Amino acid sequence: MRLKRLVVLLAAVFPALFLSATTSAQHVGDPNSHAMSRGHGVGLSPGTVSSTANPQVALYTLTLPLPGSWSVRFGLTTDYGRKTSIQTVDEPGRAASMYVAGMLPNTTYHMQAIVTLKDGSVATDGDQTFTTGSLPPGIPARFPVTPGVTGTPQPGIELLNPLLGMPPTAVATDLQGNVIWTYPFSDGTNGDSLYPVKLMSNGNFICFLAPTSYPFDLPVPNFLREFDLAGNTVRELSMADLNAALAAANLAVTLANFTHDVTPLPNGHFL
């Protein structure tokens, strides 16, 4: 499979026009949750694990009685082996949720929240289980990987943006080539692509949904989109709305297409 390297900087985007969407994940309660242990005499309510719109992403929900921090460890057994980033909770008594991702399709995983409260109390949830679903049609479960002759690869995952040979999709694999996350693009099928998928500092992703090359007037979606780990659209900007804003600002330019690259800037704007 060939991958395109996308390097051309095209358009300045108005953040005020980057509209919020109303999409939300579908959550299904897990009946197998267990009570959380007590840490230093502080009782914590049990957490729950739910499904999301992405078959390989779980939603872990927990309520902390005091300000503190928590993370989730997960794996194929109760030895777990993997761990999410740490989330801080400043307002106690309200449910906090965290996405758990990086799992193989059609596989049962064990999960457990680890909590550290501001008063020094430490507790762990009981073991939870979550079974992932199937990959979207046309997405292989594994990509062939040829390891180097010498050296040790750095830890982490590979975020791929295939443009040919499979449905328009963002794909993440482990270092053995196993697909552990996808974001299929299903808004159109007539010459459109999803690219370049980039991780933002807030944990969401940014990408274009647009034609990949000339001619730029193809009747396909033409958006800049931010979406979360479960695939829910957070906000997006269409080329039509951007051109309307340019006209309203009396700027004599009409843009044709989002293409090739997008970069979030520290001031909230996008290039």
CB count within 10 Å of CB 9 equals 11
Say yes or no: 60 and 15 in one domain.
no
Phi, psi torsion values for 15, nearest 5 degrees: -65, -25
Contacts of 260 (CB under 8 A, 6+ apart): 6, 7, 8, 9, 10, 195, 196, 208
Residue 268 is assigned to a structural domain of this protein: yes
Residues 14 and 55 in one domain: no
Same domain, 197 and 251: yes
Cβ proximity of 102 and 181 under 8 Å: yes
Residue 216 domain flag: yes
pLDDT for 259 equals: 83
Output the CA angle 143-145-150, nearest 5 degrees: 165
In a domain, 200, yes or no: yes
152 domain-assigned: no
Asked whether residue 69 falls in the same domain as residue 117, the answer is yes
- Of 79, 101, 131, the position where a domain reaches its end is 131
Cβ count near 271 (within 10 Å): 12
With CA atoms as reference, report the closest residue to 186 among 214, 158, 225, 216: 225
Q: Who wins on pLDDT, 229 or 214? A: 229
116 and 53 within one domain: yes
**What is the spatial distance between Cα 251 and Cα 58, in angstroms, rounded to a whole number?**
45
Q: What is the average pLDDT score of the chain?
A: 80
Q: Model confidence over 142-185: pLDDT tens digits? A: 999 887 778 888 888 999 888 777 777 899 999 999 999 999 77
3-class DSSP assignment, residue 247: helix
Write down the residue that tokens 């830890």 correspond to: 155
- Each residue's pLDDT tens digit, 245-259: 999 999 999 988 888
Domain end call among 79, 108, 131: 131
The reply to whether 10 and 84 lie within a common domain is: no
69 and 120 part of one domain: yes
Radius of gyration, CA atoms only, the chain: 21
- Residue 251 domain-assigned (yes or no): yes
Residue 158 domain-assigned (yes or no): no
DSSP state of 151: S
Domain coverage including residue 261? 1-23+191-271
Q: Which residue has the higher pLDDT, 166 or 52?
A: 52
> 32: which DSSP letter?
T
* CATH at 72: 2.60.40.10
In one-letter notation, the amino acid at residue 198 is K
Angle at 119 between CA 62 and CA 40, to 5 degrees: 80
Residue 67 lies in a domain: yes
Alpha-carbon distance 34 to 20, whole Å? 36
Residue that finishes a domain, picked among 89, 106, 131:
131
**162 inside domain:** no
196 and 248 share one domain: yes
The pair of structure tokens assigned to 8 is: 């051309």
Number of domains in the chain: 2
